[in-house]
C-alpha cells in the first residue's frame, strides 16, 4: 500500500522537474503520482494536468521506468 502525503504540492513540482531532467521515473514516484490522481485528494487542475502529462510521457516512451 502506498502512503500518500496529505499535501504533495510543494514537492510535486520538484518531482516533475527531476523526472524530466533525468528522463527516468522510479516506481515509487509513479505510484505516488497515480495514487494521488486516484485517491480523490484535492489537487489543483494545473497539478492534475502536470501529473497526467508526466504519465503520458512515460506511456509514450519519452521517459523510462527504473526500480
Cell of 2: 502506498
* pLDDT tens profile 4-35: 444 455 688 888 999 999 999 999 999 989 99
Look up residue 25 and give its DSSP letter. E
Q: Which residues are bridge partners to 66 per DSSP?
A: 26
* pLDDT tens profile 39-55: 877 888 898 999 999 99
Cα–Cα–Cα angle for 27, 31, 36, rounded to 5 degrees: 155
Count other Cβ atoms within 10 Å, centred on residue 19: 19
Coil/strand/helix, residue 66:
strand
The pLDDT of residue 1 is above 50: no
pTM equals: 0.79
Coil/strand/helix, residue 12:
helix
Amino acid at each position: 500500500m502506498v502512503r500518500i502525503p496529505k499535501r504533495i504540492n510543494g514537492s510535486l513540482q520538484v518531482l516533475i522537474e527531476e523526472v524530466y531532467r533525468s528522463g527516468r521515473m522510479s516506481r515509487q514516484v509513479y505510484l505516488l503520482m497515480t495514487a494521488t490522481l486516484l485517491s480523490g485528494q484535492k489537487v489543483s487542475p494545473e497539478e492534475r494536468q502536470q501529473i497526467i502529462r508526466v504519465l503520458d510521457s512515460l506511456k509514450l516512451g519519452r521517459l523510462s521506468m527504473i526500480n
